[in-house]
Structure 1
Amino acid sequence: MRAFVDRDACIGCEACVGICPEVFSMDDDAISVAVEGEIAEDILESAEEAMDCCPVGAITVE
């Protein structure tokens, strides 16, 4: 599974970073970015929680 952030939708609230810092971080423009590559199985649930908690639905995990 991989995580993706819609940069046009992200409002930079940092909720995803607080929930799953192993996958999400903020860039220089205060927009969330997801790590490239596969999400480790042991943090997949946390990444999905971050997706569910995004107030603007900017995150997908697939």
Structure 2
Amino acid sequence: MRIDIDKDVCIGAGQCALTAPGVFSQDDDGYSTLLPGREDGAGDPMVREAARACPVGAITVPETAG
């Protein structure tokens, strides 16, 4: 799984970190970031829900071909 965060769109609402705290955090400026070692989502089932919870759509989790 690949997680993309558009830093130019992120407003720092923190919904991703609240929804999937094992994958997302906020940097010193309050913007979304991935936790070290969790760049692939670490199998967390809430990653896609965290992307949906973003009020500005800054997080995308592209579907991968299987």
TM range (shorter): 0.7 to 0.9
The alignment covers a number of residue pairs equal to 60
- Matched with 1:53 is 53
Point out where structure 2 has 5 or more consecutive residues left out of the alignment: none
State the 4+ residue runs in structure 1 displaced beyond 3 angstroms: none
Identical aligned residues as a percent = 45
Cα RMSD (Å): 1.3
Flag the structure with larger Rg: 2
Point out where structure 1 has 5 or more consecutive residues left out of the alignment: none
The 1-side partners of 2:28 and 2:15 are apart by: 17
Q: Which has the higher strand share?
A: 1
Q: Which has the higher helix share?
A: 1
